[in-house]
Amino acid sequence: MGTPLRVLIVEDSDDDCTLLVRRMRRQGYDVAYERVETPSAMSAALDAQTWDLVISDNAMPYLDALAALAILQERELAVPFIIISGQIGEDAAITALEAGADDYLMKDKLARLQPALERALRKTSRRREGDDQG
């Protein structure tokens, strides 16, 4: 049994979502996930349960990564947010990181997924521990 991980996946492609979940499972995570692709579906998913991680595609018809990040930030949730994109320019990646995304990855370079997950989850754990002590 792997490390439990509840992931909200903001993605408009079933195939890309399936590949992403399969990769996380191969990396040792016991993934429970929900895929959303609209602002209302994301809001409902955030209201329904606690998530360990949000992974978002960068550009989709109804919700882009920055809008998804804004929805998460409005709720003031300490949940890591990672962008995975088929194509993201350097300027867009910098903008996303400055807006508060924890990391961004290219879909064709998912070898960085596990280190990105581990780093984001450690950062969130430290942030939550600080909140508990404050």
Can you give the pLDDT at residue 131?
A: 61
pLDDT at 39: 97
Can you tell me whether residue 60 is helix, strand or coil?
coil
**Does an H or E element contain 117, and which?**
helix 113-133
pTM of structure: 0.89
Domains along the chain with CATH numbers: 3-133 (3.40.50.2300)
Q: What is the DSSP letter of 77?
A: -
Q: How far apart are CA 134 and CA 128, in angstroms?
A: 10
Strands (E), the chain: 3-10, 29-36, 53-57, 81-85, 103-106
Report which of residues 87 and 9 the model is more confident about.
9
**pLDDT of 133 strictly over 60:** no
Percent pLDDT > 70 in the chain is: 93
The count of other CB atoms within 10 Å of the CB of residue 126 is 11
With tokens 């960085």, the residue in question is: 112
Closest CA to 104 of 37, 39, 63, 55: 55
* pLDDT tens digits for range 96-130: 889 999 998 888 888 888 899 898 888 777 766 76
pLDDT tens-place string over residues 54-95: 999 988 889 999 999 999 999 998 899 999 987 777 788 888
Are the CB atoms for 33 and 7 separated by under 8 Å? yes
Lowest mean pLDDT across 18-22, 28-32, 82-86: 82-86
pLDDT at 44: 97
